[in-house]
Amino acid sequence: MCISFVAMSINYLTRPEGRIAYDEQGTGPLIVTIPGMGDLRATWRHLTPQLVDAGYRVVSTDLRGHGDSDATFSTYGNEQSASDVIALLESLDEPATLVGNSMGAAIGVLVAAERPELVSGLVLVGPFVRNPAANAFMLGLFRVMLAPLWAAASWTAYLPSLYAGRKPADFSDYRRSLGTAIRRAGYAKAFSLTTRTSHAGAEAALPRVTAPTLVVMGDLDPDFSTPHTEAAWIGETLSARVVMVPEAGHYPQSQRPDVVGPAVASFLSEAL
Protein backbone atom coordinates (compact mmCIF):
# COMPACT_ATOMS: atom_id res chain seq x y z
CA MET A 1 0.00 0.00 0.00
CA CYS A 2 1.22 3.48 -0.82
CA ILE A 3 1.90 5.81 2.11
CA SER A 4 -1.28 7.91 2.21
CA PHE A 5 -0.74 11.63 2.64
CA VAL A 6 -4.27 11.98 3.99
CA ALA A 7 -5.45 9.12 6.19
CA MET A 8 -8.78 7.79 4.96
CA SER A 9 -10.31 4.57 3.75
CA ILE A 10 -9.35 3.43 0.26
CA ASN A 11 -11.83 1.99 -2.21
CA TYR A 12 -10.87 -0.16 -5.18
CA LEU A 13 -12.40 -0.51 -8.62
CA THR A 14 -11.59 -3.88 -10.18
CA ARG A 15 -10.46 -3.70 -13.80
CA PRO A 16 -9.46 -6.57 -16.11
CA GLU A 17 -5.74 -6.41 -15.19
CA GLY A 18 -5.73 -4.81 -11.76
CA ARG A 19 -7.39 -2.41 -9.35
CA ILE A 20 -7.83 1.36 -9.44
CA ALA A 21 -7.72 3.07 -6.04
CA TYR A 22 -9.91 5.98 -5.03
CA ASP A 23 -11.26 7.68 -1.94
CA GLU A 24 -14.45 9.62 -1.32
CA GLN A 25 -15.31 12.62 0.83
CA GLY A 26 -18.37 14.82 1.28
CA THR A 27 -21.88 14.80 -0.12
CA GLY A 28 -23.53 16.63 -2.97
CA PRO A 29 -22.89 16.91 -6.73
CA LEU A 30 -20.06 14.63 -7.80
CA ILE A 31 -16.51 15.77 -8.57
CA VAL A 32 -13.82 13.30 -9.65
CA THR A 33 -10.22 14.48 -9.40
CA ILE A 34 -7.49 12.98 -11.59
CA PRO A 35 -3.77 13.48 -10.92
CA GLY A 36 -1.06 13.73 -13.53
CA MET A 37 1.79 11.43 -14.49
CA GLY A 38 4.06 10.53 -11.60
CA ASP A 39 1.69 12.02 -9.04
CA LEU A 40 -0.69 10.80 -6.35
CA ARG A 41 -4.34 11.54 -5.74
CA ALA A 42 -3.10 13.46 -2.68
CA THR A 43 -2.03 16.23 -5.05
CA TRP A 44 -5.58 17.50 -4.44
CA ARG A 45 -5.15 17.48 -0.64
CA HIS A 46 -5.38 21.29 -0.37
CA LEU A 47 -8.26 21.72 -2.82
CA THR A 48 -10.53 18.86 -1.78
CA PRO A 49 -11.45 20.26 1.68
CA GLN A 50 -12.61 23.49 0.03
CA LEU A 51 -14.83 21.59 -2.39
CA VAL A 52 -16.25 19.40 0.37
CA ASP A 53 -16.99 22.48 2.47
CA ALA A 54 -18.72 24.02 -0.55
CA GLY A 55 -21.13 21.08 -0.68
CA TYR A 56 -19.63 18.61 -3.15
CA ARG A 57 -18.93 14.89 -3.09
CA VAL A 58 -15.27 14.52 -4.09
CA VAL A 59 -13.87 11.23 -5.38
CA SER A 60 -10.09 11.26 -5.87
CA THR A 61 -8.52 8.50 -7.96
CA ASP A 62 -4.97 7.31 -8.57
CA LEU A 63 -3.85 6.53 -12.10
CA ARG A 64 -3.11 2.91 -12.95
CA GLY A 65 0.43 2.09 -11.86
CA HIS A 66 0.47 5.02 -9.42
CA GLY A 67 -0.27 5.50 -5.73
CA ASP A 68 -2.57 2.85 -4.29
CA SER A 69 -3.66 1.57 -7.71
CA ASP A 70 -2.06 -1.65 -8.93
CA ALA A 71 1.00 -1.77 -11.18
CA THR A 72 -0.10 -5.03 -12.79
CA PHE A 73 -1.45 -3.54 -16.02
CA SER A 74 0.20 -4.37 -19.34
CA THR A 75 -0.38 -0.92 -20.87
CA TYR A 76 -0.39 2.65 -19.59
CA GLY A 77 -1.32 6.03 -21.02
CA ASN A 78 -4.10 8.54 -21.60
CA GLU A 79 -6.51 6.22 -23.36
CA GLN A 80 -6.03 3.41 -20.87
CA SER A 81 -6.55 5.70 -17.88
CA ALA A 82 -9.56 7.29 -19.58
CA SER A 83 -11.13 3.83 -19.76
CA ASP A 84 -10.50 3.47 -16.01
CA VAL A 85 -12.20 6.79 -15.28
CA ILE A 86 -15.17 5.83 -17.44
CA ALA A 87 -15.51 2.57 -15.50
CA LEU A 88 -15.27 4.50 -12.23
CA LEU A 89 -17.98 6.96 -13.31
CA GLU A 90 -20.23 4.09 -14.35
CA SER A 91 -19.76 2.49 -10.93
CA LEU A 92 -20.58 5.76 -9.18
CA ASP A 93 -23.76 5.99 -11.26
CA GLU A 94 -23.79 9.79 -11.44
CA PRO A 95 -22.42 12.38 -13.89
CA ALA A 96 -19.38 14.21 -12.53
CA THR A 97 -17.26 17.26 -13.01
CA LEU A 98 -13.79 15.98 -13.86
CA VAL A 99 -10.88 17.95 -12.39
CA GLY A 100 -7.62 16.85 -13.99
CA ASN A 101 -4.05 18.06 -13.66
CA SER A 102 -1.44 17.73 -16.42
CA MET A 103 -1.95 14.29 -18.03
CA GLY A 104 -5.12 14.04 -15.92
CA ALA A 105 -6.54 16.92 -17.97
CA ALA A 106 -5.98 14.97 -21.19
CA ILE A 107 -7.74 12.01 -19.59
CA GLY A 108 -10.67 14.24 -18.68
CA VAL A 109 -10.90 15.52 -22.27
CA LEU A 110 -10.96 11.97 -23.65
CA VAL A 111 -13.70 10.91 -21.23
CA ALA A 112 -15.79 14.02 -21.95
CA ALA A 113 -15.51 13.45 -25.71
CA GLU A 114 -16.23 9.71 -25.59
CA ARG A 115 -18.93 9.67 -22.92
CA PRO A 116 -20.45 13.17 -22.66
CA GLU A 117 -23.44 11.88 -20.66
CA LEU A 118 -21.03 11.05 -17.80
CA VAL A 119 -19.40 14.49 -17.63
CA SER A 120 -21.19 17.59 -16.34
CA GLY A 121 -18.11 19.82 -16.41
CA LEU A 122 -14.34 19.93 -16.86
CA VAL A 123 -11.63 21.70 -14.88
CA LEU A 124 -8.27 21.42 -16.65
CA VAL A 125 -5.32 22.35 -14.41
CA GLY A 126 -1.88 22.78 -15.98
CA PRO A 127 -3.35 20.86 -18.91
CA PHE A 128 -1.45 18.76 -21.41
CA VAL A 129 -4.08 18.34 -24.11
CA ARG A 130 -1.64 18.28 -27.03
CA ASN A 131 1.96 17.20 -27.44
CA PRO A 132 4.43 19.96 -26.61
CA ALA A 133 6.99 21.04 -29.16
CA ALA A 134 10.14 19.02 -28.45
CA ASN A 135 13.04 17.79 -30.52
CA ALA A 136 13.88 14.10 -30.73
CA PHE A 137 17.03 14.51 -28.65
CA MET A 138 15.23 16.10 -25.71
CA LEU A 139 12.46 13.51 -25.87
CA GLY A 140 15.02 10.71 -25.84
CA LEU A 141 16.86 12.31 -22.93
CA PHE A 142 13.64 12.57 -20.94
CA ARG A 143 12.88 8.89 -21.51
CA VAL A 144 16.37 7.86 -20.46
CA MET A 145 16.10 10.03 -17.34
CA LEU A 146 12.88 8.26 -16.35
CA ALA A 147 13.99 4.71 -17.11
CA PRO A 148 12.84 2.31 -14.34
CA LEU A 149 16.23 1.87 -12.62
CA TRP A 150 16.52 5.53 -11.68
CA ALA A 151 12.99 6.87 -12.25
CA ALA A 152 12.31 7.63 -8.58
CA ALA A 153 15.56 9.52 -8.05
CA SER A 154 15.28 11.42 -11.33
CA TRP A 155 11.64 12.36 -10.81
CA THR A 156 12.06 13.62 -7.26
CA ALA A 157 15.16 15.59 -8.30
CA TYR A 158 13.27 17.17 -11.21
CA LEU A 159 10.08 17.87 -9.26
CA PRO A 160 11.08 21.14 -7.53
CA SER A 161 11.47 22.83 -10.92
CA LEU A 162 7.83 22.02 -11.73
CA TYR A 163 6.79 23.83 -8.55
CA ALA A 164 8.11 27.17 -9.82
CA GLY A 165 6.88 30.02 -7.64
CA ARG A 166 5.41 29.19 -4.23
CA LYS A 167 5.81 25.70 -2.85
CA PRO A 168 3.25 24.26 -0.43
CA ALA A 169 4.41 24.09 3.19
CA ASP A 170 4.32 20.30 3.06
CA PHE A 171 6.29 20.03 -0.21
CA SER A 172 9.29 18.20 1.26
CA ASP A 173 7.12 15.53 2.86
CA TYR A 174 5.02 15.16 -0.27
CA ARG A 175 8.09 14.84 -2.45
CA ARG A 176 9.39 12.04 -0.23
CA SER A 177 6.03 10.26 -0.47
CA LEU A 178 6.26 10.33 -4.26
CA GLY A 179 9.71 8.77 -4.19
CA THR A 180 8.52 6.08 -1.79
CA ALA A 181 5.55 5.28 -4.03
CA ILE A 182 7.65 4.92 -7.19
CA ARG A 183 10.29 2.74 -5.51
CA ARG A 184 7.83 -0.08 -4.77
CA ALA A 185 8.19 -3.20 -6.87
CA GLY A 186 6.71 -2.72 -10.34
CA TYR A 187 5.81 0.94 -9.95
CA ALA A 188 8.93 2.47 -11.51
CA LYS A 189 8.32 0.42 -14.65
CA ALA A 190 4.64 1.48 -14.72
CA PHE A 191 5.64 5.13 -14.28
CA SER A 192 8.28 4.88 -16.98
CA LEU A 193 5.77 3.37 -19.42
CA THR A 194 3.26 6.10 -18.56
CA THR A 195 5.76 8.79 -19.57
CA ARG A 196 5.61 7.46 -23.14
CA THR A 197 1.96 8.43 -23.64
CA SER A 198 1.00 10.72 -26.50
CA HIS A 199 -1.49 13.58 -26.13
CA ALA A 200 -2.42 13.51 -29.81
CA GLY A 201 -5.64 11.65 -29.03
CA ALA A 202 -6.69 14.32 -26.56
CA GLU A 203 -6.02 17.08 -29.07
CA ALA A 204 -8.09 15.24 -31.69
CA ALA A 205 -10.91 14.87 -29.16
CA LEU A 206 -11.14 18.58 -28.26
CA PRO A 207 -13.73 19.46 -30.95
CA ARG A 208 -16.08 16.81 -29.50
CA VAL A 209 -16.04 18.22 -25.96
CA THR A 210 -19.31 19.95 -25.11
CA ALA A 211 -19.08 20.15 -21.30
CA PRO A 212 -18.56 23.59 -19.75
CA THR A 213 -14.86 23.96 -19.05
CA LEU A 214 -12.52 25.94 -16.83
CA VAL A 215 -8.79 26.16 -17.66
CA VAL A 216 -6.44 26.85 -14.74
CA MET A 217 -2.77 27.54 -15.50
CA GLY A 218 0.12 28.61 -13.32
CA ASP A 219 1.70 31.71 -14.80
CA LEU A 220 5.16 30.21 -14.16
CA ASP A 221 4.39 26.71 -15.46
CA PRO A 222 7.77 25.51 -16.80
CA ASP A 223 6.20 22.79 -18.94
CA PHE A 224 5.07 25.45 -21.43
CA SER A 225 7.29 28.03 -23.09
CA THR A 226 4.48 30.58 -22.78
CA PRO A 227 1.84 29.39 -20.30
CA HIS A 228 -0.50 32.28 -21.09
CA THR A 229 -0.48 31.39 -24.78
CA GLU A 230 -1.18 27.72 -24.16
CA ALA A 231 -3.99 28.51 -21.73
CA ALA A 232 -5.51 30.99 -24.18
CA TRP A 233 -5.40 28.42 -27.00
CA ILE A 234 -7.15 25.78 -24.90
CA GLY A 235 -9.67 28.35 -23.70
CA GLU A 236 -10.50 29.43 -27.24
CA THR A 237 -10.67 25.85 -28.52
CA LEU A 238 -13.10 24.79 -25.79
CA SER A 239 -14.89 28.14 -25.32
CA ALA A 240 -13.65 27.89 -21.75
CA ARG A 241 -13.02 30.35 -18.99
CA VAL A 242 -9.28 30.78 -18.26
CA VAL A 243 -7.76 31.55 -14.87
CA MET A 244 -4.03 32.32 -14.66
CA VAL A 245 -2.61 31.65 -11.21
CA PRO A 246 0.20 33.94 -10.05
CA GLU A 247 3.33 32.53 -8.40
CA ALA A 248 2.45 28.98 -9.46
CA GLY A 249 4.04 26.39 -11.71
CA HIS A 250 2.61 23.08 -12.89
CA TYR A 251 0.68 22.28 -9.69
CA PRO A 252 -1.39 25.37 -8.82
CA GLN A 253 -3.91 23.18 -6.97
CA SER A 254 -1.38 22.69 -4.17
CA GLN A 255 0.76 25.79 -4.70
CA ARG A 256 -2.07 28.34 -4.66
CA PRO A 257 -5.24 26.68 -3.33
CA ASP A 258 -6.23 30.12 -2.11
CA VAL A 259 -6.68 31.12 -5.76
CA VAL A 260 -7.66 27.80 -7.35
CA GLY A 261 -10.29 26.84 -4.75
CA PRO A 262 -12.46 29.95 -5.15
CA ALA A 263 -12.04 29.86 -8.96
CA VAL A 264 -13.24 26.25 -9.16
CA ALA A 265 -16.09 26.84 -6.70
CA SER A 266 -17.25 29.87 -8.70
CA PHE A 267 -17.13 27.90 -11.95
CA LEU A 268 -19.07 25.00 -10.45
CA SER A 269 -21.78 27.26 -9.01
CA GLU A 270 -22.37 28.80 -12.44
CA ALA A 271 -21.87 25.74 -14.65
CA LEU A 272 -23.81 23.06 -12.78
CA distance 111 to 83: 8
Mean pLDDT of 160-186: 97
Diameter of the chain measured on Cα atoms: 48
Phi, psi for 133 (deg, rounded to 5): -70, 125
For residue range 14-45, what is the model confidence (pLDDT) as tens digits?
A: 999 999 999 999 999 999 999 999 999 999 99
Assigned CATH for 11-271: 3.40.50.1820
User: Where residue 146 falls among pLDDT bands split at 50, 70, 90?
Assistant: confident
Compute CA distances 203 → 104, 113, 189, 235, whole Å. Answer: 14, 11, 26, 13
Instruction: Give the mean pLDDT of 79-96.
Output: 97
pLDDT in tens, 206-237: 999 999 999 999 999 999 999 999 999 999 99
Name the least confident of 142-146, 187-191, 214-218.
142-146
- What's the pLDDT band for 143 if we cut at 50, 70, 90? confident
pLDDT-derived band at 4 (thresholds 50, 70, 90) equals very low
Q: What is the pLDDT of residue 141?
A: 73
- pLDDT value at 8 more than 80: no
